[in-house]
């Protein structure tokens, strides 16, 4: 028989799929019609069984003479190129074919001149009746049904498929008192983007019952209730019927209305900077930006655009009055009237520069050393603080206050970190925290202030940034956008807590002290302890209390056996927090929508990040640290904020600020990497794309509602419906054969991520490698993934202990991390297997000294001098002993090798033509740089089809000349490594306990 020369799967598969679809209708699954009507069986038999009318969409083909080449099931194919199709209606052609006794047909389409659509080599399996084929999607409908205007008593129905992703839509309806149309109903016509339209003649009926479907068995029947639609124009969108609606496809009238003038403008001077803030303006279609106009000073009038309602104007003249007005601008360019002016007078210029500048280089070049600043090294004991849990936790018995390490201690040991070979340091959050146990930094209270328990004279946060930069090292700041402390956020909202302060609790809760403001460091002289707790504690309910059930016992007891009362601590359901700024629920489903709109823990008050006031508070706060010159942000709890909010608000604000302050190149290399926690071993987090790490690396692929809350819900539903099989993919991490290709970052969101899948599988390096590469096509660019074995939260497989797989296993993990794609990251102390097997965190229930967050400074005592990365020229004391440990020497050399071979930093990779367990090839090409490397970790490997030439192993110096495209490597042993580099530099570094 005649057919186009492409392979096809067997017909039985297609018939089974069709049968399954019919059974789905008969069984009335969720979404199928639910009211009395013509049954699907009767409807199916009402269509002639031996004919098929095939409609084909030509708009995207632009074919002049489309042909249908087909074979009835069990019959012969037509002669190539098939039978001519006839015009049907706009953008559609059709052909009715006689199938005899066959119940379907195989089909392909062509332009009559050799260009074919054969469904990607599978052909189309079609049934009987009216069938549409549109851009590869088969459905059952008549797209050219009569569209003549209906009489005045008719109904015009618009249906939105924006959140459904349907490629066709049918209206299945019943006029009041009439009968249902045959399943699947009548085809609707494409009206405009996301909308379908159908005009219905109701005769004498005043309404109709309706359900909608995509022609393939997927129904929207209003949750089983069907839709009731009246006469005139109605819209159905996201299960909401709007009667007497405006035509959603009518041309939008031009926007000529300007926004309201911004109100509440305030200007506050700090040195030679002025911080402006104002209330959001309103507009019928949304404000897109603000124009800030500055008057005064020698610079004259200056106009600056900003996307937020917070603006920091820096580098001004000393002791000079500046006046500001603000105007709002909408998308059409309409500009509001100017706000009322606000004036501030600057003071003296700080003795040291107020801002730094990021190093601005490719972040993939910089291995990361991660420290809990308060637990790393103590340079200034005067800022140590134990907090209210100092004794109870057991820390007092160990003379180990929770806030112990500081910036001064880290500055003192920058040479230790550089001597290990690391050129980036990830520090835990630096903002002023407030809770009973907040040394880690994740209970932010004043986001605009650095916690004084970390700073010292001559060792401010700015001093740390500057000192690191002077040594060629970056600072990545851990930031939190999702939540504040349970005591709120200063400058946004701080709850007033009216707790019961009776004889049981007076020892614990502070009295309100007029004029005293919490700063985490200062101890109130009356109470003799720092303010970690409430604002006002009393024995009678004060006026103004908003907390629910004040003073009533909860029924529980404290650890001391005391009665616990409502309102002693803030909580989401207490009534203490405004709904506009904070969410009001406890998290239930960690992979559901409430994971992004509820509190994670009592100490983590969940911001409503879709609220503009909250957004501007956070954007303004983190602008400060961008101005100080940090090199990037590690984003805590990123998955608990909708991707739409990141992509619309926070990520663009970061880019805007870095570009304005430091230039476009610095912005391009400002490294943002998010914690999208997915503690499972599969590619997609329990099948939920919205809660998977790779999902956050992509821009949105459609427009959503202008309101951020509604947009988040729309995006969630749309992407969940698209599912794991219909997500963006990328080849940015992969070689094309042996060739590097320019990556396409046009769809990049601006956020990279921690590689949670590798992290979860690092109990064994081979598992981490296999699972990691299996996910790489779903990231925008996996070469930017941050890769670690364990952290301050978890070890592999969600273990609550620090990794304890043994020194050999650690060496193997490191060898993989430092040569495979991604950015290797080491949690402090892992270079000596610090606290291996110890529980990482148990809160104040046990002393920190016995956990994975123990103080590390004892191992760093003494002096150390680094002359270059991985090069220590002098060391004495305990740190000298630390530097002699086997994994220290291992990571030093790994950093040397990685730093010398560009392919290991930014190269794409492939396992094509490679045999062996953890073996791969990598290449990076840019300008005059062309770096190609063949890598095997622990085991033997062979590489075929590689470029001929001279390869040198960076570990041993072994030289191989390849003439037949093949290079074989014997197993170097566990933790060892071979890196054969084409035209390579030779052996790098000296042999150690593993790299030898």
Q: How far apart are alpha carbons 441 and 370 in whole angstroms?
A: 14
Q: How many CB atoms lie within 10 A of CB 621?
A: 21
SS3 state at 44: helix
Q: Grade residue 541 by pLDDT with cuts at 50, 70 and 90.
A: confident
Mean per-residue pLDDT of the chain: 89
Q: Which pLDDT belongs to residue 174?
A: 95
In this predicted structure, what is the pLDDT of residue 430? 98
Degrees, nearest 5: CA angle 366-369-373 = 135
CB 101 within 8 A of CB 155: no
Give the confidence band of 548 by pLDDT, cuts at 50, 70, 90: confident
pLDDT of 730 reads: 97
d(CA 101, CA 78): 17
Alpha carbon separation from 994 to 27, 422, 518, 787, 898 (Å, rounded): 63, 19, 51, 21, 16
User: Could you tell me the pLDDT band of residue 535, with boundaries at 50, 70 and 90?
Assistant: low
Separation in Å, CA 384 to CA 286, 294, 476, 510: 48, 43, 23, 21
State yes or no: pLDDT of 9 exceeds 60: no
| Residue 55 contacts residue 94 (beta carbons within 8 Å) | yes
Question: Residues for the chain: how many in total?
Answer: 996
Tell me: pLDDT of 3 over 60.
no
pLDDT for 871 equals 96
* HEC string for 530-585: ECCCCCEEECCCCCCCCCCCCCCEEEEECCCCCEEECCCCCCCCCCCCCCCCECCC
Predicted pLDDT of residue 934: 98
Per-residue exposure over 271-290, b if at least 16 CB sit within 10 Å of its own CB, e if not: ebbbbbbbbbbebeeebeeb
pLDDT in tens, 727-743: 999 999 999 999 999 99
pLDDT band at 216 (very low <50, low <70, confident <90, very high): confident
| pLDDT band, residue 285 (cuts 50/70/90) | confident
Quote the tokens at residue 102: 């066959």
> Among candidates 941, 945, 965, 957, which has minimal Cα distance to 991?
957
Question: Per residue in 590-649, pLDDT tens?
Answer: 777 778 889 998 889 999 999 999 999 999 999 999 999 999 999 999 999 999 999 999
| Distant-in-sequence, close-in-space partners of 853: CB < 8 Å, separation ≥ 6 | 372, 375, 440, 792, 840, 841
Instruction: Give the DSSP per-residue string, 136-189.
Output: TEEE---TT---PPPPTT-EEEEEE-TTTT-S--EEEEEETTS-PPPTT-EEPE
What average pLDDT score do residues 257-285 get?
88
Strand 536-538 relative to strand 498-500, pairing = parallel
- Whether pLDDT at 107 is above 80: yes
Q: Residue 613 is encoded by which pair of tokens?
A: 């006031």
- Is the Cβ–Cβ distance between 782 and 820 less than 8 Å? no
pLDDT at position 256 over 50: yes
pLDDT in tens, 372-404: 999 999 999 999 999 888 999 999 999 999 999
Q: Where are the alpha helices (DSSP H) in 355-454?
A: 373-376, 407-412, 414-420
**pLDDT over 70 percentage in the chain:** 91
Residue range 567-587: average pLDDT?
Answer: 89
What band does 508 get if pLDDT is binned at 50, 70 and 90? low
Residue 958 half-sphere exposure, CB side, CA atoms within 13 Å? Answer: 15
pLDDT of residue 813: 98
Reported as a single tens digit per residue, the pLDDT across 640-670 is 999 999 999 999 999 999 999 999 999 999 9
Give the contacts of 437 (CB within 8 A, at least 6 positions apart). Answer: 387, 389, 393, 402, 843, 844
Q: Which residues contact 438 (CB under 8 A, 6 or more apart)?
A: 387, 402, 485, 520, 532
Residue-wise pLDDT for 780-810, tens only, equals: 999 999 999 999 999 999 999 999 999 999 9
Q: What is the DSSP string of 285-351?
A: S-EEEEEEEEE-STT--EEEEESSSEEEE-SPPTT-EEEEEEEEEETT--BPPPPPPEEEE--PPPS
With 50 as the cut, is the pLDDT of residue 128 above it? yes
What's the CA gap between 444 and 44, in Å, rounded?
Answer: 63
pLDDT given at position 564:
87
pLDDT beyond 80 at 716: yes
Average pLDDT over residues 707-722: 93
pLDDT band per the 50, 70, 90 thresholds, residue 546: confident
Q: Which long-range contacts (CB under 8 A, 24 or more apart) does 918-927 make?
A: 918/765, 918/766, 918/769, 918/816, 918/820, 919/943, 919/969, 920/820, 921/735, 921/738, 921/946, 922/735, 922/819, 922/821, 923/735, 923/738, 923/739, 923/740, 924/740, 925/739, 925/740, 926/902
Q: Is residue 653 a contact partner of residue 308, using CB atoms and an 8 Å limit? A: yes
Rounded to a whole number of angstroms, the CA Rg of the chain reads 33
Q: pLDDT of 906-956, one tens digit each?
A: 999 999 999 999 999 999 999 999 999 999 999 999 999 999 999 999 999
Helix H segments across 861-980? 878-882, 886-900, 902-906
Going by pLDDT thresholds of 50, 70 and 90, the confidence category of residue 136 is: confident
| Helix-, strand-, coil-residue percentages of the chain, each rounded to 5 | 20, 30, 50
Comparing CA positions, the residue from 367, 434, 495 lying closest to residue 820 is 367
Q: What whole-number percentage of the chain has pLDDT above 90?
A: 69
Measured at the CA of 360, the angle between CA 356 and CA 362, to 5 degrees, comes to 155
């Amino acid at each position: 028989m005649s057919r186009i020369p492409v392979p096809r799967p067997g017909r039985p598969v297609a018939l089974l799929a069709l049968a399954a679809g019919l059974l789905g209708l008969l069984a009335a699954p969720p979404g199928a019609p639910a009211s009395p009507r013509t049954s699907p069986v009767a409807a199916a038999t009402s269509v002639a069984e031996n004919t098929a009318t095939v409609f084909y969409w030509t708009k995207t083909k632009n074919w002049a003479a489309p042909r249908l080449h087909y074979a009835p099931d069990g019959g012969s194919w037509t002669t190539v190129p098939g039978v001519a199709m006839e015009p049907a209606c706009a953008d559609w052609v059709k052909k009715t074919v006689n199938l005899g006794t066959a119940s379907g047909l195989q089909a392909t389409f062509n332009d009559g001149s050799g260009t074919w659509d054969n469904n990607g080599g599978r052909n189309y399996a079609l049934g009987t009746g009216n069938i549409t084929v549109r851009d590869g999607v088969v459905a059952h409908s008549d797209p050219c049904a009569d569209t003549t205007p209906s009489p005045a008593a008719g109904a015009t129905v618009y249906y939105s498929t924006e959140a459904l992703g349907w490629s066709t839509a049918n209206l299945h309806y019943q006029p009041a008192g009439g009968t249902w149309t045959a399943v699947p109903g009548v085809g609707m016509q494409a009206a405009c983007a996301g909308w379908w339209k159908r005009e219905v003649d109701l005769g004498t009926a005043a309404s109709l019952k309706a359900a909608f479907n995509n022609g393939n068995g997927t129904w929207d029947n209003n949750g089983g209730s069907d839709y009731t639609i009246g006469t005139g124009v109605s819209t159905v969108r996201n299960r909401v019927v709007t009667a007497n609606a405006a035509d959603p496809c009518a041309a939008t009238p031009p926007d000529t209305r300007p926004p309201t003038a911004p109100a509440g403008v305030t200007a506050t001077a700090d040195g030679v900077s002025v911080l402006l803030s104002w209330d959001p303006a309103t507009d019928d279609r949304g404000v897109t930006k603000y124009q800030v106009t500055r008057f005064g000073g020698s610079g004259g009038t200056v106009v600056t655009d900003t996307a937020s309602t917070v603006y920091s104007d820096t580098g001004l003249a000393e002791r000079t009055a500046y006046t500001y007005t603000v105007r709002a601008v909408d998308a059409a360019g309409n500009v509001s009237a100017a706000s009322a002016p606000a004036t501030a007078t600057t003071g003296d210029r700080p003795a040291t520069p107020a801002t730094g500048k990021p190093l601005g280089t490719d972040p993939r070049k910089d291995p990361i050393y991660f420290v809990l600043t308060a637990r790393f090294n103590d340079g200034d004991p005067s800022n140590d603080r134990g907090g209210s849990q100092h004794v109870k936790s057991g820390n007092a018995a160990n003379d180990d206050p929770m806030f112990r390490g500081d910036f001064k201690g880290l500055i003192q040991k920058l040479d230790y970190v550089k001597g290990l070979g690391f050129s980036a340091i990830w520090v835990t959050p630096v903002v002023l925290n407030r809770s009973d146990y907040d040394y880690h930094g994740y209970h932010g209270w004043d986001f605009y202030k650095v916690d004084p328990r970390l700073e010292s004279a001559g060792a401010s946060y700015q001093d740390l940034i500057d000192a690191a930069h002077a040594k060629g090292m970056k600072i990545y700041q851990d930031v939190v956008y999702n939540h504040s402390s349970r005591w709120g956020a200063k400058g946004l909202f701080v709850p007033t807590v009216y707790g019961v302060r009776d004889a049981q609790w007076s020892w614990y809760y502070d009295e309100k002290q007029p004029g005293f403001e919490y700063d985490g460091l200062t101890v109130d002289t009356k109470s003799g302890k720092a303010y970690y707790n409430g604002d006002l504690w009393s024995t009678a309910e004060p006026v103004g209390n908003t907390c629910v059930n004040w003073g009533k016992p909860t029924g529980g007891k404290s650890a001391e056996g005391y009665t616990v009362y409502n309102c002693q601590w803030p909580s989401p359901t207490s009534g203490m927090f405004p709904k506009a700024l904070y969410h009001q629920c406890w998290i239930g489903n960690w992979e559901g929508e409430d994971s992004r709109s509820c509190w994670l823990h009592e100490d983590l008050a969940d911001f409503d990040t879709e609220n503009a006031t909250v957004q501007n508070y956070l954007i303004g706060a983190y602008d400060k640290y961008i101005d100080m010159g940090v090199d990037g942000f590690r984003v805590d709890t990123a998955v608990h904020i909708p991707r739409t909010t990141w992509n619309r608000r926070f990520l663009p604000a970061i880019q805007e600020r870095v570009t304005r302050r430091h230039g476009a190149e610095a912005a391009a290399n400002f490294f943002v990497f998010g914690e999208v926690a997915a503690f499972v071993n599969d590619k997609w987090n329990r099948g939920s794309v919205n809660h998977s790490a790779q999902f956050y690396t992509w821009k949105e692929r459609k427009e959503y509602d202008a309101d951020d809350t509604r947009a988040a819900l729309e995006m969630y539903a749309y992407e969940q419906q698209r599912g794991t099989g219909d997500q963006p993919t990328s080849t940015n991490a992969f070689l094309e054969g042996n060739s590097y290709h320019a990556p396409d970052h046009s769809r990049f969101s601006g956020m990279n991520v921690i590689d949670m899948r590798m992290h979860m599988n690092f109990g064994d390096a081979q598992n981490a490698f296999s699972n990691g590469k299996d996910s790489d096509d779903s990231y925008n660019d996996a070469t930017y993934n941050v890769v670690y074995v364990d952290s301050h939260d978890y070890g592999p497989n969600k273990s609550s202990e620090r990794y304890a797989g043994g020194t050999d296993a650690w060496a193997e993990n490191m060898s993989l991390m430092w040569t495979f794609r991604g950015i290797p990251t080491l949690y402090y102390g892992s270079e000596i297997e610090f606290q291996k097997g110890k529980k990482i965190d148990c809160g104040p229930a046990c002393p920190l000294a016995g956990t994975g967050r123990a103080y590390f400074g004892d191992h760093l005592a003494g002096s150390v001098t680094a002359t270059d990365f991985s090069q220590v020229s002098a060391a004495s004391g305990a740190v000298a002993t630390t530097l002699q440990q086997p994994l220290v020497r291992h990571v030093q050399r790994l950093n040397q090798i990685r730093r010398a071979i560009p392919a290991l930093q930014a190269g794409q990779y492939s396992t094509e033509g490679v045999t062996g367990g953890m073996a791969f090839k990598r290449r990076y090409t840019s300008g005059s740089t062309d770096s190609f490397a063949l890598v095997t970790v622990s085991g033997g490997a062979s590489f075929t089809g590689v470029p001929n030439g001279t390869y040198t192993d960076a570990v041993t110096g072994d030289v191989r000349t390849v003439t037949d495209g093949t290079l074989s490597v014997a197993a170097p042993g566990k933790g060892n490594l071979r890196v054969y580099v084409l035209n390579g530099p030779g052996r790098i570094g000296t042999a150690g306990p593993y790299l030898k």
